[in-house]
Structures are given as C-alpha cells and as structure tokens.
C-alpha cells in the first residue's frame, strides 16, 4: 500500500485533496482558532519599514546647508542628498534630449541659472522641426535595416505628427531614450557580473524574482519619496521594471556560449576584456537582443503608470482623455505608444545585427554618406519650416511643430463605435453578467474565503511536496506564511480567486488560439505580432468600455485581466509547438501518424514544458492586471495598494502589499518551474 | 591678535553687506520655476494653467508636472512640487492632513467655491420619476430595485468613490439610516470608473446612485444630490455620532510647500489671495469638456476673458 502511494502521483493527489476537504469541513471559523486564520504577527512591519525609510531619508546624517532663497539653514539628510543628485542627473539627460526634440531652456539653465534665462530672452533652445526628426528616423531605418524599415518608420512618424500627438510623443520618447539604454546597460552589467560570480548570481536571483512579480503600483510611493516627482522618477520606476528581464536574458545567453567558442577566443590571445566584448557578448547576441526587445516593450508598457509619478507625455494625456471618457483619443494615444515601441525595437534590432564591413575601401563621400544625408535632411527641414511661416495662417506652422490635439482625428469614429456597443450589447451582456456573477464568481469567491488557513497550507505545501519534495514544500509554505502573518490574508484570498479564474480562462483561450495558429507560418507571425502589440498597448484604455458594458463588478476586472493574461498563454503555446524538433516530427510522420495524431501524441507532449512556462507568465500577467483592475473597483490586495498612495504608512504598506502579490506569484512560479524542469529532463529536451 | 580683529571686522562688514543685499533681494521672487501639479481631471488641469498664467504675468517662471492626486501631498512636503490648488475636503483632506502632520506643507487659504461631495442621481432619474420622491433620501426606501445591478443580489447598489477617499463613511450612513438591508455600497476604484458607469447608465436611462461632487463637469448634464438629513457637528462616527447625516458643504483649499512664501513672496501673496467661485471652476472645466478646447487654450481663453477677476489677486 505504502509502496503504491509512493509511486503513484494521482493517488498522492487524491489523499491530499481528501485531507484538504477534511480540514475545510472540520475547522471552525473563529478569530482565535489558529487553524482558521493565523494571527497578524507582522502587522506592525509596514510601520517599521516606513519609519526606517523616513528616518534614513530625512533624519539620518543631516547635513546643514545655507539656503539663500529662504535665508535660513536647512538640514538635508545624506541619503536625500545622494538620491536627489541621481534624480538631477537623470532629469538633466531627459531634459537635454527633450529640448533637442521640442525646444526649451532647461539645458541652458543647467549651465547658467534661471536668472540668466530670465534676463536674456534669446537664451532659448529651438525645437527641431518635426520633419527633420521624422526624416532622420527614416534615414536611420534605411541605414540600419533597409527600405522596409524606412517605410515603416516613415508611416509611424507621419501618423504621430498628423494625429497631433507629436509633442507628447516626443516627451515620452525622451524619457524612454534615457530609461531604455540605462536598463540595457544596467542589465548587461549585472548579467555579466552574475555570470562571473556564483555568489552574485545566487544573491541576484531572489531579487529578480521579486522585482519581476511585484506590481509596479507598489513601488511608486517609495520611488517618489526617494527620488521625487517628475520625469526622472518615472524613468527610475521604469528602470526597476525593465531591467530584470535584461539581466536574466544576458545571463542565459552567456551561459549558453559553448566552451569551444571560449577556447577559440583564448587561443587567439584574447585578454579578459576582449574575451567578454569580442567573444562572449557577440556570441550570446541572440538572447541579449531578446532582452533589449523586452526592455523596450517594458519601458513603453510603463509609459502610463510612470505618469502617476510625474512622467510627461503620452501616458499622462491618455489618463486625461480617459477621465473625460474620450476613448477615441485614448486609443490614438495608445497607438502612438505601440508605434514608438515597435520603431525603437526594430531600429535597435537593425543596429545590433549590422555587421561591420572591415574590408570596405570607400572614398570620403561614401564613408560619410549618412552624415551628409543627415545634414541634408536638417537643412531641407529647416527650410520647409521657414517656408511654413508664410503658408499657414493662424499662428500654427504645420511644417514646424503641430500643436497637441491640432491634428487629424478619428475620435468620433471610435466614440460612436463604443456608443453603438453600449446601445446594442448592454442588455444581452447583462444576462450573461448576472449569470456569471451569481452562479460562478460569487460562489467561487466565498469558497476561497471560507477556506481555513490550515487547509490552504496543506494543499499548497502538499502539491509542493509531490512535485519537488520537502524543499519545494518548505519554499511554498514560506511564501504563504509571510502572507498569512500579515493582516491581509483575506484580501490575498480574493486576489487568488480572481487570479485562478482569470488564469484558467486565459490558458484555455490561449492554448486553443496558439494550437490553431501554430499550424501555419503566416498565422504564427500574425499572432506573435498581435501579442507584441497588445503587450505594449496600454491596458487602461479597455478598462473604460469594459466598465460601460459590465459595470463596476468583478466581471469587468476579470475581462480586463483575461485580455492581458491571454497574451503569454498564446505566445508560449505557439513558440512551444513551433520549436518541437523537426526530426521528431518527421519520425512521427514516418511511423504513419496523421496530422491530428502527430499534434496530440508528439507535438503537444513535447511542447508542454514550454507551455507551462507560459502559464507561469500568465499568472504573473494576471496578478499585474488584477492590481491595475483595482482602478475599476475590487476589494483585494490591489485596492489596498492603490490606497497606499495616500496612506500615512504608504511606503511600508505599498512594499509589503507588493511583496504579498509577488509571493503568490513566486509560489506558483516555483511549482511550475520545478515541474517543467523535471518534465523536460524526462523528455530529453533539457 | 590684531589680525584676528581685522578678520572679525571684515567678516562683520561682509555679513552686513550680505544682509542688505538679501533684503533688497527679498522683494523679488526667485527665478526658479514654481512647480504646479496636473492631475487627471479637466478643471484641475485648466486651473493649473490659469494659475501658471497668473504667476507668469507677475514675472515668475512656472513648470507643470503630472502627479497622482493622492501622492501629490507627499511631493509638496518634500519640495518636489510647490503648490496644489484643488484640495477637496472629502477626497484629499486625509492625505493633506497626513502630510501636514509630518511637516513641510502649509495651508494657503480656501477658495470661495463651496463644494458639495455627496451621493446623488443623474437628473433624468428625478425627471423621469424613476424613484418617486427623490431627491429626498426617504424615497430610497421604496425603490431599491431601480438601482439593483448584476452583483448587488437584488438590493440597490450605491457606487461610492475609492475607499481611500472617505473610508466607511457611506456604508455607515446607509446602515444608520436603516437602509442597510435594502442597499449595498460598492467602492469604485477610481473616478473614471464612476464616469464610465454614469455614461453607460445615461444611454440606457437606467437608475444609478453614485458619489459625485460639484462643481464638476457632470453639472452640465444635470446631477441631483440626494438630500440626506442635514449635517450637524458630532454626527459622524469619528466624532462620536452614528453617522446618520449627509455631507457638510465642503471646502476647496490650496496648499503650498513651506518654503514657497520665502522663495516667491509675491507669487505666494497672489496665491493666498487667489480664490475661485463655483461658477468659475465650472467655466474652466466646461471650456475643455464641452467646448473641446485643449487645456492650455482653455486657460488662455479664460485668462483673457476674466482679467477683472484675476488681476486683483496680483495687486
């Protein structure tokens, strides 16, 4: 009997489930019953975190300085001095790029003073005409990757200009142009460091895990306290969000470099630096480029959230448009964000794939071809802008800068589309909505809430034990224990209920779409493009129409979550199926399986470990979106994270709640990773 | 010994010089920009540009920074943002006073506009007599079904703002008024969520009770606040009462960083005098929400049309 239990996982699961239900039935719900709910032993931790951060920021090591403006001595803590200097530097860089694109005085101020600028009205940096920026971008596209990229860049820039979003787009661009390279460099440096040192890698991994699963809302308050409010704060929050995948992918790429390549490098007499930059990094280029792609996507995905703490540009205008329920306008802004993401991604890809031609023997003009083209574009653009002053009346020069919202717009079209949807679908959807809420969501939520803490632990740790032995059980238990000891266990259960529902639906939709699309190369390309677009398309935009159709209910939140969380589920299914070794497929075909059999018996089982990693991402995406869904109205951890923006213990509460969400994600992540690793080894894929 | 006296004397002379220089400097504002926050609703953004325009007219430089409307007080306290010109009593009062308790932020006076932040219904609900007797609150007793939604379990649903605005004020009031078994209070996650529900309800002409405030852009479409038993001191649970009363007329305050009066004395004087009425706040919002001007244009137009209103603030 015991032998058979040891070897039969289904039997183990059956016993586990039985134990789970026994606990559910027999544990009485009462405040003092530790089997029902654990006492909130670490409820005081947020205040402690908060006070220590504030002490460090405002009181520790005060430096007295004389402030001329208020004619008094001021005390500034050392840490504040340091963080504010970092802010100042980043802000300077952002303003510098912004003023090249849009004009301004701040760069001049940085070298002189505000008084100087006030007294000298000529001290103003003029903006580049939009035609010049667009022309240069097109030329860059052509130089890096050829005609098609040039055409695409051209269309994108013209779209942005014609729709009157040039100014906010350039504001967003200027902060992305700082945040993205910063993330790439930081990620590359940390990745290389972790590659060189085992202990660094060991220390970095848990940090990366937390950073990648922690919802961005939870570190907004700490960032504003440490770095202030403004574009720099937005950039810093973006860097925190965008760097982890870069580190991971750099490390992954470097580790995959085969020893033969390193040997070859050493034999050719590389020193350490040369080995890194001439051999290792170029060889790991593929992974690193995926990292760069991720950084760019993440940076623009943050465009809206960064505007909560002061980033100017498309994100802020988008929030304004949504507050006025101008969905059409928000949509146009959202498309601008996606376009910038795609253009930057393609340009960086083109740049990285460009091979240096060491043997070209070119004349002076040939060698400096692009330099001449750039100068040419600049001159033509300025001439055009000058001409524009004579052509256009009413103070707007369409050849120089198209003012915000003075362009073409399709707003009315989208607006009437949304109106039409509400007019025609509301009644029908209402029946569905009621059914879903009353028969599925409410019972499910209540079931989660009536689960004794002991039963939750038994289930989670039991699953951990079956999948990965005692170690996994302890890891998962540790994550849960942290949440259980805060005062937010019930909130976490609600988050878990929404995540479970959303993940199940997303995975079903994602794998069906993925399986269908993976059968055809064109469909595969299309679906991956759609995934990329949706990933950068600001999810805030569809919150509003969803509320109009489904009201402020859990249904609305879940629809928004499912829309977002289906992206990784689809992507990983497609990738998993497309990456099944051709030799194995051929072997199957030769053995006489038909198409369906090949899919079910060969491709799917082989793709399952990769698909499981997709589910892992689905969980993370779902958790992120559930927290954003708090803007619709939920009563889970997300509501408290939003609330932390105004709390007295905002820093502590935000971070702790963020950790709770991260730990739910990490517990699931651990289970799936362990399982996938074992499965891969069993399939001979590792 | 001798040289030390000389040193002291020169130091003394210098400090006198410095002091006199700084006295002359005090009259003028610093040329550093005054940082004005912009939030995500129209009247606030237009007013930001209006106030910026007023500051510019007296020779100051200004800068606009987008910020979250709850997190902004922490930023003012730390000096990253200089002022906030729309501190609504019931939505931001808590954040404002929390920041004030920590120090670094000062109360720069109150607008003439008196605000009302209360539960209410769109005007068509009263006009079409969906719930006879409204806006008197007693009418609510008999028409819970009119306000029922998919997730309210047959009860009427009241859509309240985010819980961070005024905690359990509304649930307590509903219970204290004996409406607890007929109505549920649902917290929306953001103002946008309320507007989206209102817009959707209007299309259908269905009944809806939401939290709202005036002056607001919804005034244009008509919004009737429910008349609850009048507010009296000591009525709220925080003051020892049972909470069975409506909202008081609220204030709309201005806040500033504590250094602002010293760095920009003239601008601060203007800012503390500055006071807009309900109509004026409404005008600013309407220029954007109804006339569809951009926020900057709206501010420019308002400043040009209302010079007699704002000029006195600068004198």
What is the pLDDT averaged over residues B199-211? 90
**CA nearest neighbour of A538 among A307, A224, A324:** A307
Q: How far apart are CA B187 and CA B90, in angstroms?
A: 15
Which distant-in-sequence residues (6+ apart) come within 8 Å of B314 by Cβ? B54, B57, B58, B270
pLDDT at site A394: 67
Q: Which residue did the predictor score with more confidence, A476 or A603? A: A476
Q: If DSSP codes are grouped into helix, strand and coil, which group holds residue A165?
A: coil
Say which DSSP state A217 is in: G
Among the four given CATH numbers 3.40.50.970, 1.10.3720.10, 3.40.50.2300, 3.40.1160.10, the one describing domain A167-340? 1.10.3720.10
For residue A1, name the pLDDT band (cuts at 50, 70, 90).
low
pLDDT of residue A483: 95
Locate the chain B residue with the closest alpha carbon to A629: B189
Q: Is the reported ipTM for this assembly greater than 0.95?
A: no
Give how far the C-alpha of residue A307 lies from the chain's centroid of Cα atoms, to the nearest Å.
15
Q: Quick check: B189 and A423 CB within 8 A?
A: no
Strands B156-160 and B209-214, by their bridges, are: parallel
| A·B CB contacts under 8 A | 196
Angle, vertex CA B189, rays to CA B183 and CA B192, nearest 5? 105
Radius of gyration of chain B (CA): 24
pLDDT at A160 over 50: yes
pLDDT-derived band at A382, boundaries 50, 70, 90: confident
According to DSSP, the residues that pair with A63 across neighbouring strands are A76
Segment A139-168 shows an average pLDDT of: 90
Least confident of A211-220, A365-374, A624-633, B204-213: A365-374
A401-412 burial string, b = 16+ CB within 10 Å, else e?
Answer: bbbbbbbebebe
- Beta strands B83-88 and B252-257 are antiparallel
Q: Is there a common fold for A167-340 and A424-450+487-683?
A: yes
What pLDDT does residue A594 have? 85
Q: What 8-state DSSP symbol labels residue A125? A: B
Give the per-residue SS3 of chain B. CHHHHHHHHHHHHHHHHHHHHHHHHHCCCCCCCEEEEECCCHHHHHHHHHHHHHHHHCCCCEEEEECCCCCHHHHHHCCCCCEEEEEEHHHHHHHHHHHHHHCCEEEEEECCCCEEEEEEEEHHHHHCCCCCCCCEHHHHHHCHHHHECCCCCCCEEEEECCHHHHCCHHHHHHHHCCCCCCEEEEECCCHHHHHHHHHHHHHHCCCCEEEEEECCHHHHHCEEECECCCCCCCCCHHHCCCCCCCCCCECEEEEEECCHHHHCHHHHHHHHHCCCCHHHHHHHHHHHHCCCCCHHHHHHHHHHHCHHHHHHHHC
**Residue the block writes with tokens 């051709």:** A582
Contact residues, A window 571-630, toward B, CB-based 8 Å cutoff: 629-630
Across chain A, mean pLDDT equals: 88
Please write the tens of the pLDDT for every residue from A464-498: 999 988 999 999 999 999 999 999 999 999 999 99
Tell me what the pLDDT averaged over chain B comes to.
86
Residue with tokens 């083109």: A350
Question: Ramachandran region of residue B243, left (φ > 0), alpha (ψ -120 to 50) or beta?
Answer: left
**What does the buried/exposed string (b/e) look like for A305-327 if buried means 16 or more CB atoms within 10 Å of the residue's CB?**
bbbbbbbbbbbbbbbbbbbbbbb
List pLDDT tens digits, range A655-669: 999 999 999 999 999
Is the pLDDT reported for residue B278 higher than 80? yes
pLDDT tens for A234-249 read 999 999 999 999 998 8
Q: Is the per-residue pLDDT at A388 higher than 90?
A: no
Across A114-118, A208-212, A413-417, least confident range: A114-118
Average pLDDT over residues A291-303: 89
By Cβ distance, the residue of B61, B67, B73 closest to A114 is: B61
Q: Is A350 on the interface with B (CB under 8 A)?
A: no
What pLDDT, on a 0 to 100 scale, did the predictor assign at position B172? 92
Q: How far is B265 from chain A (nearest CA, A)?
A: 10
Q: Which of B66, B95, B196 sits opposite A544 (nearest CB)?
A: B196
A441: distance to nearest CA of chain B, Å?
10
Task: Classify each residue of B2-18 as buried b or exposed e, where b means 16 or more C-beta atoms within 10 Å of its C-beta.
Answer: eeeeeeeeeeeeeeeee
Q: Can you say whether residue A575 is alpha, beta or left, with left for phi > 0 and alpha for psi between -120 and 50 degrees?
A: alpha
Integer Cα distance of A328 and A676 in angstroms: 43
Question: Position of tokens 């470990």?
Answer: A609
| Best mean pLDDT range from A373-387, A529-543, A617-631 | A617-631
- pLDDT at A563 (0 to 100): 92
Judge whether A654 and A217 are in contact, CB under 8 Å.
yes
d(Cα A191, Cα A306) in Å, to the nearest integer?
25
Euclidean distance between the first and the last CA atom of chain A, given in angstroms as a whole number: 34
Q: Worst-scoring range by mean pLDDT, A159-163, A218-222, B14-18, B165-169?
A: B14-18
Which residue of A75, A552, A627, A635 is the best one to mutate when testing the B interface, meaning the one whose CB has the most B CBs within 10 A?
A552
- Predicted local confidence at residue A65, as pLDDT: 77
Confidence at residue B24, expressed as pLDDT on a 0 to 100 scale: 41
Residue A71, helix vs strand vs coil: coil
B interface mutation test: which of A73, A310, A651 has the most B CBs within 10 A? A310
Place of tokens 């559930």: A626
Cα–Cα distances in angstroms (integers) from residue A95 to residues A101, A172, A415, in the given order? 10, 11, 35
**Is residue B166 over pLDDT 70?**
yes
| Distance set, CA A92 to CA A103, A130, B37, B60, B169 (Å) | 14, 22, 20, 22, 45
B94: closest chain A residue by CA = A646
Rounded Cα distance between B285 and B43, Å, is 4
The pLDDT of residue A401: 76
Cβ of A642 within 8 Å of Cβ of B38? The answer is no
Residue A407: strand, helix, or coil? coil
* CB nearest A642 (choices: B26, B162, B203): B162
Work out the pLDDT band at A686, boundaries 50, 70, 90: low
Tokens of A668: 């699931």
For chain B, list the domains and their CATH numbers.
31-111+250-314 (3.40.190.10), 116-239 (3.40.190.100)
Give the number of other Cβ atoms within 10 Å of residue A335's Cβ: 20
The Cα–Cα gap between A560 and A662 comes to 20
The larger pLDDT score, comparing residue A266 to residue A645, is at: A266
CA dist., res. B10 & res. A94, Å (int)? 45
Q: Which of B19, B71, B158, B292 to mutate to probe the A interface, most A CBs <10 Å?
A: B71
pLDDT at B17: 43
- Distance, in angstroms, between B75 CA and closest chain A CA? 6
pLDDT, tens digit, 9 for 90 and up, residues A568-596: 999 999 988 888 888 888 888 888 888 88
Q: Please, are residues B67 and A309 in contact by the beta-carbon 8 Å criterion?
A: yes
Contact yes or no for A586/A544 (Cβ under 8 A): no
Domain segments of chain A as ranges: 49-119, 167-340, 424-450+487-683, 456-485
Q: How are beta strands B209-214 and B116-122 bridged, if at all?
A: antiparallel
**Which of A:275-314 have CB within 8 Å of B?**
307-312
If pLDDT is split at 50, 70 and 90, which confidence band does A685 have?
A: low
Q: Of B11-15, B60-64, B155-159, where does mean pLDDT reach its minimum?
A: B11-15
pLDDT at B19: 43
- Report how far apart the first and last C-alpha atoms of chain B are (Å, whole number): 54
* Cβ–Cβ gap B196/A115 under 8 Å: no
Q: Pick from B80, B220, B259 the residue to mutate for testing the A interface (most A CBs within 10 Å).
A: B80
Contact A176, A208 (CB under 8 A): no
Class of domain A424-450+487-683: mainly alpha
pLDDT reading at B27 higher than 70 = no
What are the distances in angstroms from CA A241 to CA A182, A183, A303, A536?
12, 9, 11, 14
**Which pLDDT score, from 0 to 100, does residue B13 have?**
47
Provide the pLDDT for residue A70: 66
Rg (CA), chain A: 28
What are the structure tokens assigned to B93, written together? 């009062």
What is the structure's pLDDT at B1?
41
Chain B partners within 8 Å of A629 (Cβ): 189
Nearest CA in chain B to A422: B200
Using CA coordinates, name the residue in chain B closest to A405: B294
């Amino acid at each position: 009997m015991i032998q058979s239990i040891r070897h039969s996982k289904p039997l183990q699961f059956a016993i586990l489930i039985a134990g789970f239900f026994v606990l559910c039935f027999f544990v009485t719900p009462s405040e003092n019953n530790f089997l029902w709910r654990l006492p909130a032993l670490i409820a005081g931790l947020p205040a402690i975190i908060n006070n220590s951060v504030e002490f460090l920021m405002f009181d520790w090591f005060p430096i007295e300085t004389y402030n001329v403006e208020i004619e008094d001595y001021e005390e500034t803590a050392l840490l504040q001095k340091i963080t504010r200097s970092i802010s100042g530097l980043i802000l300077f860089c952002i303003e510098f790029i912004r003023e090249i694109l849009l004009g301004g005085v701040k760069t001049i101020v940085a070298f002189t003073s505000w008084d100087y600028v006030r007294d000298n009205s000529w001290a103003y940096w003029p903006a580049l005409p939009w035609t010049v920026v667009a022309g240069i971008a097109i030329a860059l596209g052509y130089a890096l990757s050829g005609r098609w990229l040039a055409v695409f860049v051209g269309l994108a820039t013209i779209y942005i200009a014609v729709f009157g979003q040039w100014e906010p787009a350039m504001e967003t661009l200027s902060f992305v142009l700082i945040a993205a390279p910063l993330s790439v460099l930081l990620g590359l440096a940390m990745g290389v460091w972790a590659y060189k040192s085992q202990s660094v890698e060991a220390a970095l991994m848990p940090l990366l895990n937390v950073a990648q699963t922690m919802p961005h809302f939870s570190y907004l308050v700490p960032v504003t306290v440490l770095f202030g409010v403004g574009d720099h704060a937005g950039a810093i929050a973006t860097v925190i969000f965008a760097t982890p995948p870069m580190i991971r992918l750099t490390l992954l790429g470097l580790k995959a470099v085969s020893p033969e390549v390193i040997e070859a490098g050493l034999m050719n007499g590389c020193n350490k630096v040369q080995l890194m930059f001439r051999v290792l990094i170029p060889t790991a280029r593929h992974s690193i480029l995926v990292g760069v792609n991720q950084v760019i996507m993440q940076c623009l995905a943050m465009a809206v959230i960064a505007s909560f703490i002061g980033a100017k540009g498309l994100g802020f205008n988008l929030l304004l448009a949504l507050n006025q329920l101008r969905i059409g306008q928000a949509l146009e802004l959202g498309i601008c964000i996606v376009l910038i993401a795609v253009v930057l991604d393609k340009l960086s890809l083109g740049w990285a794939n460009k091979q240096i031609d060491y043997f070209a023997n070119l004349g002076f003009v040939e060698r400096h071809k692009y330099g001449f083209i750039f100068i040419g574009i600049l001159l033509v653009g300025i001439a055009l802008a000058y001409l524009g002053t004579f052509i256009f009346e009413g103070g707007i020069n369409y050849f120089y800068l198209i003012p915000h919202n003075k362009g073409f717009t399709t707003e009315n079209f989208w607006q009437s589309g949304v109106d039409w949807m509400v007019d025609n679908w509301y009644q029908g959807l209402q029946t569905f909505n009621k059914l879903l809420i009353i028969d599925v969501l409410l019972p499910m939520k209540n079931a989660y809430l009536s689960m004794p803490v002991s039963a939750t632990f038994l289930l989670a740790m039991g699953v951990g034990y079956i999948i990965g032995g005692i170690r996994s059980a302890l890891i998962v238990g540790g994550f849960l224990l942290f949440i259980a000891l805060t005062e937010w266990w019930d909130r976490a259960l609600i988050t878990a209920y929404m995540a479970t529902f959303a993940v199940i639906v997303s995975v079903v939709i994602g794998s069906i779409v993925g399986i269908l699309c993976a059968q055809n190369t064109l469909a595969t390309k299309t679906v991956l493009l759609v995934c990329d677009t949706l990933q950068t398309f600001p999810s805030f935009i569809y919150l509003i129409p969803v509320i109009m159709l489904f009201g402020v209910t859990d249904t609305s939140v879940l629809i928004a979550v499912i829309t977002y969380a289906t992206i990784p589920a689809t992507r990983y299914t497609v990738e998993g199926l497309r990456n099944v070794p051709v030799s194995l497929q051929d072997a199957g075909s030769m053995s006489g399986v038909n198409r369906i059999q090949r899919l079910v018996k060969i491709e799917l089982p082989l793709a399952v470990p990769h698909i499981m990693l997709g589910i892992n991402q689905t969980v993370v995406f779902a958790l992120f979106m559930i927290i954003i869904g708090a803007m619709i109205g939920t009563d889970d951890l997300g509501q408290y994270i939003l609330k932390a923006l105004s709390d007295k213990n905002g820093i502590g509460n935000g971070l702790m709640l963020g950790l709770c969400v991260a730990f739910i994600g990490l517990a699931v992540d651990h289970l799936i990773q362990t399982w996938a690793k074992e499965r891969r080894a069993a399939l001979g894929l590792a | 010994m001798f040289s030390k006296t000389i040193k002291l004397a020169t130091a003394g002379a210098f400090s006198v010089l410095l002091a006199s220089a700084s006295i002359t400097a005090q009259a003028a504002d610093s040329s550093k920009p005054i940082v004005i926050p912009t939030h995500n609703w129209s009247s606030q953004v237009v007013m930001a540009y209006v106030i910026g325009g007023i500051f510019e007219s007296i020779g100051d430089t200004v800068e606009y920074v987008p910020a979250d409307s709850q997190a902004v007080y922490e930023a003012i306290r730390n000096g990253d943002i200089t002022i906030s010109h729309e501190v609504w009593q019931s939505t931001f009062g808590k954040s404002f006073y929390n920041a004030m308790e920590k120090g670094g932020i000062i109360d720069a006076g109150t607008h003439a506009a008196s605000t009302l932040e209360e539960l209410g219904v769109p005007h068509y609900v009263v006009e079409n007599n969906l719930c006879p007797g409204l806006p008197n609150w007693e009418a609510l007793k008999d028409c819970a079904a009119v306000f029922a939604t998919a997730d309210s379990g047959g009860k009427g649903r009241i859509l309240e703002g985010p819980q961070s605005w005024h905690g359990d004020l509304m649930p307590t009031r509903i219970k204290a008024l004996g409406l607890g078994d007929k109505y549920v209070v649902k917290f929306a996650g953001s103002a946008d969520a309320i507007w989206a529900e209102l817009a959707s309800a209007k299309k259908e002409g269905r009944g809806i009770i939401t939290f709202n405030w005036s002056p607001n852009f919804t005034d244009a479409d008509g919004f009737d606040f429910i008349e609850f038993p009048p507010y009296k001191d000591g009525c709220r649970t925080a003051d020892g009462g049972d909470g069975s009363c409506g909202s008081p007329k609220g204030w709309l305050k201005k806040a500033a960083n504590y250094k602002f009066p010293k760095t920009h004395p003239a601008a601060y004087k203007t800012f503390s005098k500055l006071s807009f009425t309900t109509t004026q706040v409404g005008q600013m919002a309407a220029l954007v929400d109804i006339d569809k001007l951009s926020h900057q244009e709206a501010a420019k137009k308002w400043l040009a049309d209302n010079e007699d209103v704002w000029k006195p603030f600068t004198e």
